[in-house]
Each structure stands twice: as structure tokens, then as C-alpha cells.
Structure 1
């Protein structure tokens, strides 16, 4: 990966609407050379998927909740059951197995507190949980899906 590849990645993760010719012009490449680089980045696994990010507030999803879960079950059977159940909940945007005091961390969006409560009730039906703690985001100060590219190896 060289500086041009990093520049292409920076543009791609900032604006998926950019045409290949726009990207090529911005990184000082021909359209064909730029397209080939994007194909190589895609085939190399650097590009996961191309999506549009939706405005949660405009869609009536004004509540963001971070839920910390502790469980007394630490076996693969329990994890598989819980993971499959959580994956079926569209309100859960992110789901992590953690180190430290929290076993699992979920990022959930809902229209309101009652909507979150419905998600909570679904979660506790999936698998036995030991402790659940939810924190409601009061204000979104920073939100990005753009990854830092300073850590990639430059040729």
C-alpha cells in the first residue's frame, strides 16, 4: 500500500458518491489506473462494503443506548445462542465481546425509551443474563465511520 492507495481509501470512506474519475483526478491518476487500484484494494480485503449512512434522527430513532452485559455463562453454547439472537435484532447496531468487567457491549438505537424497553425485553428472552446496565447518550459529539489511515504501511 502506497500513499496513493491511502488517499484513495480516505476518499472512498468519506464519500461513496464519488465517481472513479473524481477520485482519479483528486489523487492524480488516470481513471483506468485508479479503477485498477480500487479493484486491488477490494480484492485485498481493504474494502468491506459500500453503503449509504442514514440519518437516525430523520428516521425517528432518536435514542442511542450503550448496554453493558455481564453473564455467569462463559461457554460456547450460550455464546452462540446469545449471538444469534442479538444478530436478529435490527436495533442493535454494534455488538462486542469485551475484556474487563463487562462481558458484552451493545450499541442500540430506538425511537424512544419505550422502544428501547421493547428491545431490552427481547434481549432478556434470548439468554440468561447476570447483570445489564444501560447508558443513554445525551448528545452525539463525534460520529464517524472513517478509519484512521496513518497506521497502514506505506511503500
Structure 2
């Protein structure tokens, strides 16, 4: 289903990105509308897939996940069977917060959140035991300067 997103929809989406727990009344006030049209627009945007699942942001460090690694992966395998096994291995690992297939010298980059370097090593050992990987480089993030899922609406 294709949906046309107008300026009011963008205002609603911006309000939801800022705080999805806001009440429908608050969102309606913020966009200068009433509840029913705002609710109908939100429903339409959900049905069209513009709005996905809603979740909460957790503080990783407060929960003991103090190490964030960016893992650069080069592989000599590019067939569908290998890619399927690799994707399955990534999906099975909750430590992997993001995974991207890249153009250029590096084939994949992963964002891996773990309690410490020892936990990263356990993740790494498990991954390479399941999937053949040519080269892995792990970069430890010393400080997160910016992180957002918000789109610039």
C-alpha cells in the first residue's frame, strides 16, 4: 500500500519520533488538529508501513552494556547459502544491534553492544565458528557522540 505523506502527516511523525508515549490529545495539539483525524492518519501510516513497531529506548550503560564495537567484516564467500547462514547467525545474536552490507573494501559492518571485551571475544568466537569469515576488524567506540533513529522530517 502506497501512501502520500503530507505536511500534517510529517508533523504527526515528528511528534511521534520525539516521544511515542505522548497522548493522542498532546499530538493533536502539537499538530493543530483534533484527535479523530490524527488517529485516522496514524492508523493509515501504520497500515502503509510508514510507522513500524513501537519500542522504548534503554540506557545500555545503565544496564551493564558498557562496550560498543563496530565490527568490519570481509569475506571471500558471496553465494546465497553463505549469506543465508550469515544472516541467520546475526539474527540469532541479540548483541548485534545493527548490521549493514557495504559497497567497497569492507563487505559488512556490525554494531555490537556487550558488557566488556571478554563478552565481545565470546561473541566473535561464536560467530566465526558458525560462519566462514575471511577477515574481522573490531573497533571499540570510546565515546558515543550522537545516536538517533529520528529521521530529519
The TM-score with structure 1 as length reference comes to: 0.94
Q: Distance in 2 between matches of 1:33 and 1:78?
A: 48
User: Which whole-Å CA distance do the structure 1 matches of 2:53 and 2:21 have between them?
Assistant: 13
In 2, Cα distance between equivalents of 1:49 and 1:13: 12
For residues 48-87 of structure 1, what are the structure 2 equivalents within 5 Å?
A: 48-87=52-91
1:130 aligns with 2:134: yes
1:115 pairs with 2:119: yes
Tell which has more relative contact order, 1 or 2 (C-alpha 8 A, sep 6+). Answer: 1
| 1-structure distance, mates of 2:126, 2:152 | 35
Task: Tell whether 2:106 aligns with 1:102.
Answer: yes
Post-superposition Cα deviations, 1:76-127, rounded to whole Å, max 9, x if no partner, equal 0000011101110010011111110111110000001111111111111111
Q: Deviation of residue 56 (structure 1)?
A: 0.2
- Runs of 4+ in structure 1 deviating by more than 3 angstroms, as ranges, are none
Per the normalisation by structure 2, the TM-score is 0.95
When the two chains are superposed, the root-mean-square deviation of aligned CA atoms in Å is 0.8
Q: Distance in 2 between matches of 1:86 and 1:143?
A: 21
1:44 maps onto 2:64 in alignment: no
Distance 1:73 1:13 in 2: 38
